[in-house]
Structure 1
């Protein structure tokens, strides 16, 4: 058990530490391997005079620089986001890959230049394809296979573009080294047989190396430029739209923006929700949208903005509530009548009980104007203003009045729709008498009819007993009347 005050890292922190450790270790191993291979190729290339080996040595030398840049960039890119770099430091990986592309292209320029001179101007340069040249190239191939596989495994595991660039370099080194071996073998054969035209095989092999490097550079350049210019990964945007569209409550998707920094994705998402949706519900839908995005891009940083929109199936009641909700007011008991071909609206609005009559009337007048402006078919509006409680009412005592309860039960018995009335309670709040009760109805009775019966029962109670200030009736289905 950890001691009090000690820091216990959570699972996410441990995973981040493991990622940094793995990436740093494989990048550092790549640097050491590049130093070893570059040194061998330089020595054997100078000894043999082979342009193919020297071009490979230059290629490996730039690979060494690239490996060092990769190692340093990973150390920086793995730093967490801060106040000055709010999206983290992942772009450093993309930038280092871009630099590696430039270095590879510089290698190609030198190789092509030297090959051209040997092919057309200095054809008598002597090449010594000794056994050591072949040994070094085979060692180079073995080391390149080993480190490219390790780099690719870690790059895939942590989606690192810098390590992927390194792995791509070293995997192509295998092919370019094979081309050099072939060139040296042909030159050795030419020297033994006296076939002079085959002596051009070494500079031709060097040109093949340059061609491979250009191809690799082009692939890498496209990836790094796309990342630096925040290009969305191919097909990912449409997948995100498909997944988010399936989230319940999402009416439309207005914008999807994707950017990548290092191995981390950032997604900005604007979704349209019904304007009738509560603030809390909109938060739940936004969470579901984030989860849908992470089905496509796991671990992505997703920012969701919910925008209220008129629903496709809105009726006139929904449109009235939509205007009220936009102003953060609650309207209820909306009634619409058609009088002489014109629509008349009656509604109840709850406002803060601390407002004055003038303040409340001004707010309601503005609300009515907004409703008529948006719902053109409405001719007139009459609003009942209710006070919305802003304080907790303290109950003075609970009344027990068996006689009054019996009289109320007798009144409820006159309503054939009510199967049973139970749990009758009386309270004295602020000197006024409150009554609450539970009534059971048919399971299949419509809510509108239930409300009508409740209203009639409330009127009957207050008519028979004017001392009742407030009546609260809780309706229940007949088959489940004790919840």
Structure 2
């Protein structure tokens, strides 16, 4: 992944995150133990199915809290050789297990409620202790859901979000059970059988709440386990990527989630003559674009070479050369009687034997003609590409040579002045470099022609010169 801070350095991979997640999960386990124990005791002493169903629900919450604590600890482990994408999926799997336990509890509650309503009536003795336990559990559940929800939202933890959702629904279900017990008391005073049967009805309502919560949790959990991407994120990423400079097309965007992290595979099309370094820069921009939409994402970018719509004959020639890992320059194309004739300069390793170099050039030329049937001929000037640093000595300033060169430059009216003339000697060869000033608006092609002509004139007047290098400067940036 390029262009992003390492996950271990971000808030999502910090020690503080791990400590907070583990602390809130451990506190949730302790609270679940206390509440479940109280509900079981009061439910058994009162015979209330509503409280017993709540105790079963709380017992399930205890199991879920333990699973959450274990999953949080496991998911924080870094990636290893056997789990290259990390262990974050453990959170999603634990949420899946919690969903199954919730549904199993619903089956038991519905079975007992139907049996008490229609087949086996159980006498219920509501007590003050029952109400106190229910109200106490509601207060604890409120505290737990707030604490879990805060950390879950802060670190986008699905396991903690599942626990927070459980405990927030416990508040409502406990309230319904308390209401059911109150209706039982009222029914006995009013001698109303349907009010007396309010307790199993309340239990059915609790089961309905659990089913509702389970369906939401199951959907999110299954989506994560089946690698469903976040809603609308893919379309937003594709739309944002179209603004990245140099990108021709977006071939594919795939997103998967593991715990609180996302993994994105992005395949993009770049112009086929783009340099490898520029390709890396575009990949960084793509990565940063994805990161702005989905923070904490591990992004892998694959760049695919594409022929641009506006590609001309020069681009196509250079594209083939690049594919052969060859560097061409000074490409010129002439149109003679409707057929194109290409001339180009090609740099190759100076240590390469001529036969091997010629064979590589021949293969490249054949491929260029194969992709461009309108080309009738190709002439390639093979140059040696220096691969060694040659020791040289600076020659003392030769005022006479400088005057001769300036006199020659004066023959070209478009060359405004010549300055910074330097002479070096390398292996008994004389190298000359100078700066020439041209008008700002002069086309680069004309500047190149003038520089080439000046180099030729220098060598005519001073045959001892082996190489002449002319650096052109605009008149407004003349740094004499």
| Normalised TM-score (structure 1) | 0.96
What SS does the aligned partner of 2:104 have? helix
Q: Which has the higher contact order (CA 8 A, sep 6+)?
A: 2
How many pairs are equivalent? 473
Please name the residue that 1:412 is paired with.
409
Please name the residue that 2:3 is paired with.
none
Alignment of 1:425-436 (within 5 A): 425-436=422-433
1:169 aligns with 2:166: yes
178-187 vs 470-479, which moves further? 178-187
Residue 14 of structure 1, CA deviation? 10
Residue 252 of structure 1, CA deviation? 1.1
* In structure 2, distance between residues paired with 1:49 and 1:299: 50
Equivalent of residue 39 in structure 1, options 10, 26, 37: 37
Aligned CA-pair RMSD: 1.3
Residue 261 of structure 1, CA deviation? 1.1
* In structure 2, distance between residues paired with 1:223 and 1:15: 23
For the Cα contact (< 8 Å) 1:151–1:164, is it kept in 2? yes
Alignment of 1:455-470 (within 5 A): 455-470=452-467
Please name the residue that 1:69 is paired with.
67
Residue 312 of structure 1, CA deviation? 2.6
What SS does the aligned partner of 1:457 have? helix
For the Cα contact (< 8 Å) 1:372–1:378, is it kept in 2? yes
For the Cα contact (< 8 Å) 2:12–2:296, is it kept in 1? no
Alignment of 1:45-444 (within 5 A): 45-123=43-121, 125-444=122-441
Please name the residue that 1:6 is paired with.
none
Residue 396 of structure 1, CA deviation? 3.1
* In structure 2, distance between residues paired with 1:423 and 1:224: 72
Gaps of at least 5 residues in structure 1 are 1-9
The Cα offsets for residues 23-73 of structure 1, whole Å up to 9 and x where unpaired, read as 000000000100111011111111111111110000000110010010011
* In structure 1, distance between residues paired with 2:209 and 2:11: 41
Gaps of at least 5 residues in structure 2 are 1-7
Aligned in 2, Cα 1:358/1:11: closer, same or farther, shift over 3 Å? closer
| Normalised TM-score (structure 2) | 0.97
* In structure 2, distance between residues paired with 1:393 and 1:13: 52
151-160 vs 14-23, which moves further? 14-23
What SS does the aligned partner of 1:268 have? strand
Aligned in 2, Cα 1:13/1:22: closer, same or farther, shift over 3 Å? same
* In structure 2, distance between residues paired with 1:22 and 1:79: 15
The Cα offsets for residues 77-114 of structure 1, whole Å up to 9 and x where unpaired, read as 10111111111110111100000000000100000000
* In structure 2, distance between residues paired with 1:220 and 1:167: 11
* In structure 1, distance between residues paired with 2:417 and 2:216: 78
The Cα offsets for residues 93-145 of structure 1, whole Å up to 9 and x where unpaired, read as 1100000000000100000000110111013x211111111111111110000
* In structure 2, distance between residues paired with 1:395 and 1:244: 50
* In structure 1, distance between residues paired with 2:372 and 2:352: 28
For the Cα contact (< 8 Å) 1:399–1:425, is it kept in 2? no
Please name the residue that 1:4 is paired with.
none
Residue 400 of structure 1, CA deviation? 2.3
For the Cα contact (< 8 Å) 1:399–1:428, is it kept in 2? no
Equivalent of residue 444 in structure 2, options 443, 447, 457: 447
For the Cα contact (< 8 Å) 1:141–1:177, is it kept in 2? yes
